[in-house]
Every structure is written in structure tokens, then in C-alpha cells.
């Protein structure tokens, strides 16, 4: 009961802080003459629905996928505006359909609204080695593909921002793997979500510094800072959710 109460208080405090910060940023940015107001509002809306999804996911509740659908739609609109094509393709062609697969899989594993947690599980040692190797190989491939795409889309004479491309590739790769593990209710998804959030902080930090005309970029940067805090807590929660009951009862894990 103490654990459940702490998680509810923690999630509520984070959500309230997120709402306050996003409202303040939106009001400040909306007051500028050159503000892209529609995109700013879309980014803000996506940030709030996405964070609600992340909080529900951390606590093992299936409603995460319903809020996730709204977040994916908003993020696909925002990423298309700044040329993060890896992130755009990820949202439209992968993350959106995976929300529906997640609903199906979590229902099979006992999740029910915000009343019943999903039955979490863990990867075996061999599965962890395989997934780690495959993820790194996909990261390298994604980086070189996105590097070519970025070089072909920028104006002649301009240099490709390789750091931006790397973080874009990392977000693309680890989001794909993390979403699979999330849909199948594996604890290790939260290791990947921490990597994804750190990569997103790097990606949007670079965009914010090099492309200051995008008023909504600070919203995205703040969003993933909050996501990182939640993903650290999510890892802690899912370590418990994926621990067999007999070990919990004996205080072994």
C-alpha cells in the first residue's frame, strides 16, 4: 500500500509540474510576433498527452496506449516541420500501429484500465545479448541512412549536423526496440526508454540551439526532461512488477 501511494503521489506531482511548465512556456512563446502558434499548441498538447501516457505506462496501466495514440499524432506533425525524418517515420509508420498491438497484448496479460496492472516479465540472458547486439547494429545502419537522407535534403554548401543525425538515429532505433518490449510487457523496456529520453534531450537540445526559430522546440526539450525522470521511476516500478511473487514474499529481490 505504501508503494502504491508513493507511485500515485509521485505521478500526480510530476503531471502537475508538467502542466504548469507547459502552460507557462506556451503563453510566453505565443506572445512572440514570429511564433508558430499552431505548431506550438500541437506540441504542447502532445507533450501533455504523451506524459500522461508515460506515467500510466510506468505504473503498468493499459490506458497508456490511448493517450499514446494522441501523442504520436501530435509528434508526427511537429517532427515533420523540423526535418527530423527518422523521428517522423518512426511515429507514423511504427509507433501508431504499435499502440493498438500494445492494447491487445496487455489485455492478454491481465491489464484492465487503471485498476489492474499488467503482468510484467523479464528477458532471459540470451535474449538480452541478442537484443543488445541487434540494437547496436540497427543504430549504425540508421545513422548512415539518415546521414545520406539529411545530406540530400539540405541546401548546397551547408554541412550536415552529425550530432543531430546521431541522436535522431538513436531515438529511431531504441524507440523501435523499446516499443516491442513495451507491447510484450518486458521490464527491460525501461532501460531503453531511459536511453531514448537521453537521446531526445540531446536531439531537441541541438535543434533548440541551432534552429531558434522553432518556438515549440523548448516544449519538446522540457517534455523529454520530464520523461527521463518518469522513466527512471518506471524502471524501479517494473523491477518490482516483473519479480516473481515468491521472491517478493521472501524479500529476495
- Indicate whether 85 pLDDT > 90: no
Sequence-ordered list of residues with C-beta below 8 angstroms from that of 31, at least 6 positions apart, any chain: none
Report helix, strand or coil for 36: coil
Which carries the bigger pLDDT value, residue 233 or residue 29? Answer: 233
Report helix, strand or coil for 103: helix
Lowest mean pLDDT among 61-65, 94-98, 148-152: 148-152
For CA atoms 58, 64, 68, 71, the dihedral sign is negative
Which carries the bigger pLDDT value, residue 52 or residue 217? Answer: 52
Cβ atoms within 10 Å of 46's Cβ, excluding its own: 24
Predicted confidence at residue 249, as pLDDT, reads 47
Phi then psi for residue 186, to 5 deg, are -95, 140
Is the Cβ–Cβ distance between 96 and 50 less than 8 Å?
Answer: no
Predicted confidence at residue 253, as pLDDT, reads 39
Lowest mean pLDDT among 78-82, 89-93, 205-209: 78-82
- Indicate whether 34 pLDDT > 80: no
Query: What value does the mean pLDDT take over residues 202-216?
Result: 78
Predicted confidence at residue 251, as pLDDT, reads 46
Predicted confidence at residue 84, as pLDDT, reads 67
Is the Cβ–Cβ distance between 233 and 58 less than 8 Å?
Answer: yes
pLDDT tens digits, 142-177:
999 989 888 887 777 778 889 999 998 999 899 889
Is the Cβ–Cβ distance between 51 and 234 less than 8 Å?
Answer: no
Amino acid at each position: 500500500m505504501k508503494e502504491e501511494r508513493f507511485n500515485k503521489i509521485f505521478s500526480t506531482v510530476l503531471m502537475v509540474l508538467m502542466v504548469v511548465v507547459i502552460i507557462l512556456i506556451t503563453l510566453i512563446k505565443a506572445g512572440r510576433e514570429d511564433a508558430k502558434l499552431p505548431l506550438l499548441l500541437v506540441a504542447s498538447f502532445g507533450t501533455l498527452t504523451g506524459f500522461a501516457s508515460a506515467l500510466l505506462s510506468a505504473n503498468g496501466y493499459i490506458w497508456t496506449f490511448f493517450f499514446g495514440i494522441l501523442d504520436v499524432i501530435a509528434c508526427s506533425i511537429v517532427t515533420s516541420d523540423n526535418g527530423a525524418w527518422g523521428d517522423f517515420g518512426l511515429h507514423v509508420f511504427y509507433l501508431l500501429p504499435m499502440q493498438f498491438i500494445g492494447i491487445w497484448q496487455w489485455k492478454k496479460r491481465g491489464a484492465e484500465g487503471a485498476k489492474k496492472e499488467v503482468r510484467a516479465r523479464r528477458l532471459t540472458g540470451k535474449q538480452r545479448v541478442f537484443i543488445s547486439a541487434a540494437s547496436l547494429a540497427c543504430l549504425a545502419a540508421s545513422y548512415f541512412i539518415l546521414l545520406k537522407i539529411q545530406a540530400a535534403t539540405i541546401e548546397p554548401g551547408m554541412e550536415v549536423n552529425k550530432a543531430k543525425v546521431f541522436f535522431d538515429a538513436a531515438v529511431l532505433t531504441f524507440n523501435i526496440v523499446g516499443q516491442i518490449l513495451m507491447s510484450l510487457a518486458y521490464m527491460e523496456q525501461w532501460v531503453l526508454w531511459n536511453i531514448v529520453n537521453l537521446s531526445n534531450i540531446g536531439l531537441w537540445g541541438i535543434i533548440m540551439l541551432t534552429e531558434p526559430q522553432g518556438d515549440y522546440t523548448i516544449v519538446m526539450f522540457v517534455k523529454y526532461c520530464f520523461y527521463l525522470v518518469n522513466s527512471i521511476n518506471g524502471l524501479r516500478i517494473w523491477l518490482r512488477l516483473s519479480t516473481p511473487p515468491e521472491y517478493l514474499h521472501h524479500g529476495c529481490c
